[in-house]
Structure 1
């Protein structure tokens, strides 16, 4: 039988690539069709409201943030606007109504984007952590390309997907451990996280997934789009390699049922543990309250995060679950000994 061809990436095998598929070293592989059917028929899916109003209305970001300031605005789910060092950075931007390969079916957002597309400041950089449809939305990337012309940064293989749709776009691909210094006041590092990828039924794990560390004059930012906790191994490694972080942006949703989701999606308790392990001063919780992907109720992640912080004796102001439209001006942390 001929070897299955990877349509996205052709590179040498490594400690996380077998020549066809990427994998999490010593990690838990995503469940198969039998497990998927068991989950989908468990009858435990909470009912979400069909629509939710923006808590504070849509935000209208400033054009730039400079100096020691660091501002994060929640768009929704894993889409955030990071403003730091005079740069405007979007993560996993999705303005589409559905996280789906088609416009007429699939998970539908229940809340509008926290920033209207036309109110975006000039976008310099777009970080795409992996190729799931709730993170890599070609319709949004195409609109960003035509209206802002940003530099797209993404893990190996995802560049192929973006460049097929936008052949003239500036796209940089990164492997775990790579660094990219293209801007005077920013270095981007790609780091491991425990997840997977797919755009269809035959391309599972053929494009890489990654976390990003942003090294800026205003401090380091650790951004994870999706991850399983995996004993905290990646959090410990990030702290050992980069030192402490001013801000960690961590997923807290899409985690139930645990037997199916544990390997790829951490829960709020694990997010709090990761927050401590990576030595972050502050954190933003994301990946909740926008599209229903899993079984938990729409307000469950924020409630569980509040309880997990209380159990650890951590001030809730240090780890904020941002709703769409909310803005967090991240305080300058006190000096460390």
Structure 2
């Protein structure tokens, strides 16, 4: 009886892997049809984008080791399920207002403009909604509660940062201006969306009363099997009456973040990722751990920081709440108070 169960389990696992490969192959073919081509730079070699510090995403050998040795922490479904469901008004103050939706999605209100970062309201960060990483908590703001969205910033094309369903709904209801890294506009054009601007590292564009500058990051890109690093990844500096830095999704690099801080002094608020960092040997090339997030805060010389990229999707091996605990330990070690580097509650206003 046990042998039959083991065989059935083996068949299930092989079927699951086979199905995953088929899905990856199909999506990879579609994603690779239109890729970026442009001038060679220190982060584009003529064929693909690269990290300036030489960091690369893990190969199959490391991926199989990760899957074989995983020790994932515990997550609880639907914990802290508060969702703001009343219409959010425009910000008529001179302050920055931030609302953490969850994962890497923030509503930023600056100079009467409403800005979203990496919006995802779907149940799964996946090419399909019946398979892939599922939410452990609902969005902290319902989609219907959003004010009119003027601008959407996309850091890169991974499914937890560029969600097709949400993009289509935003276009239908708000028709915002989308700003994306090099190569990512092809995704929007295939959806029939033309109100999109591509941006390179250190390139600046103006939108109404503010300036948006693309900033370097340490990561990678792909939506399928054959489009790896064919589009760029970046962070953003938002400058109006005040200055906001959104790091996107990134590993740590001292040179990059000190340079951003030196070239852009007096940042009022920095939004810095703290999650998806365990095991460190596997994740450190693409994600910052909480200790490194604190170092980014120091490198930038930012007045305030807010944590992001945690608490929603179990994308690595740290357990629920572990990122926040480790961040508090790192803050204490560096004698930084928790009101200078906030772990935000979802659906709650923070003013700076």
Give the TM-score, by structure 1 length: 0.92
Q: What residue is the counterpart of 1:221 in the other structure?
A: 244
Query: 2:194 matched to 1:194?
Result: no
Query: 2:197 matched to 1:172?
Result: yes
Q: What residue is the counterpart of 1:324 in the other structure?
A: 346
Hey, what's the Cα distance between the residues in 2 that align with 1:89 and 1:195?
23
> Among 277, 287, 292, which residue is 1:255 paired with?
277
Q: What residue is the counterpart of 1:145 in the other structure?
A: 171
Query: 2:155 matched to 1:129?
Result: yes
> Among 267, 274, 286, which residue is 1:264 paired with?
286
Is contact 1:27-1:194 (8 Å) kept? no
List aligned pairs for 1:34-53, cutoff 5 A: 34-53=61-80
> Among 3, 10, 16, which residue is 2:43 paired with?
16
Is contact 2:215-2:235 (8 Å) kept? yes
Is contact 1:59-1:326 (8 Å) kept? no
Deviation for aligned residue 1:27: 2.7
Please give the per-residue CA displacement for 1:61-103, whole angstroms capped at 9, x wherever unaligned. Answer: 6321134211110111001100110000000000000000111
Is contact 2:278-2:316 (8 Å) kept? yes
Is contact 2:84-2:145 (8 Å) kept? no
Aligned to 2:339, the other structure's residue is in SS state helix
Q: What residue is the counterpart of 1:158 in the other structure?
A: 184
Is contact 2:88-2:145 (8 Å) kept? no
Deviation for aligned residue 1:6: 7.1
Hey, what's the Cα distance between the residues in 2 that align with 1:42 and 1:304?
22
Aligned to 1:154, the other structure's residue is in SS state strand
Is contact 1:94-1:137 (8 Å) kept? yes
Hey, what's the Cα distance between the residues in 2 that align with 1:43 and 1:171?
39
Unaligned runs of 5+ in 1: 331-337
Q: What residue is the counterpart of 2:7 in the other structure?
A: none
Hey, what's the Cα distance between the residues in 2 that align with 1:323 and 1:41?
34
List aligned pairs for 1:32-71, cutoff 5 A: 32-54=59-81, 56-58=82-84, 60=86, 62-71=88-97
Hey, what's the Cα distance between the residues in 2 that align with 1:208 and 1:323?
30
Hey, what's the Cα distance between the residues in 1 that align with 2:224 and 2:234?
19
Please give the per-residue CA displacement for 1:142-196, whole angstroms capped at 9, x wherever unaligned. Answer: 00001001000010011111121133x310000111100121x200000101011
Hey, what's the Cα distance between the residues in 1 that align with 2:94 and 2:249?
28
Please give the per-residue CA displacement for 1:284-326, whole angstroms capped at 9, x wherever unaligned. Answer: 1010000100000110110011111111111111111123223
Greater displacement, 185-194 / 57-66: 57-66
Q: What residue is the counterpart of 2:146 in the other structure?
A: 120
Please give the per-residue CA displacement for 1:263-286, whole angstroms capped at 9, x wherever unaligned. Answer: 110001111111011011111101
> Among 85, 91, 106, which residue is 2:132 paired with?
106
Hey, what's the Cα distance between the residues in 2 that align with 1:261 and 1:137?
22
List aligned pairs for 1:199-210, cutoff 5 A: 199-210=223-234
Give the TM-score, by structure 2 length: 0.89
Is contact 2:99-2:349 (8 Å) kept? yes
Hey, what's the Cα distance between the residues in 2 that align with 1:79 and 1:34?
32
Hey, what's the Cα distance between the residues in 2 that align with 1:37 and 1:244?
44
> Among 256, 260, 264, which residue is 1:242 paired with?
264
Hey, what's the Cα distance between the residues in 1 that align with 2:70 and 2:313?
19
Is contact 1:21-1:207 (8 Å) kept? yes
Q: Provide the aligned C-alpha RMSD in A.
A: 1.3
Query: 2:119 matched to 1:93?
Result: yes
Hey, what's the Cα distance between the residues in 2 that align with 1:88 and 1:61?
13
Aligned to 2:303, the other structure's residue is in SS state strand
Q: What residue is the counterpart of 1:286 in the other structure?
A: 308
Aligned residue pair count: 321
Q: Which has the larger radius of gyration?
A: 2
Aligned to 2:331, the other structure's residue is in SS state helix
Deviation for aligned residue 1:57: 4.0
Is contact 2:252-2:292 (8 Å) kept? yes
Hey, what's the Cα distance between the residues in 2 that align with 1:260 and 1:323?
28
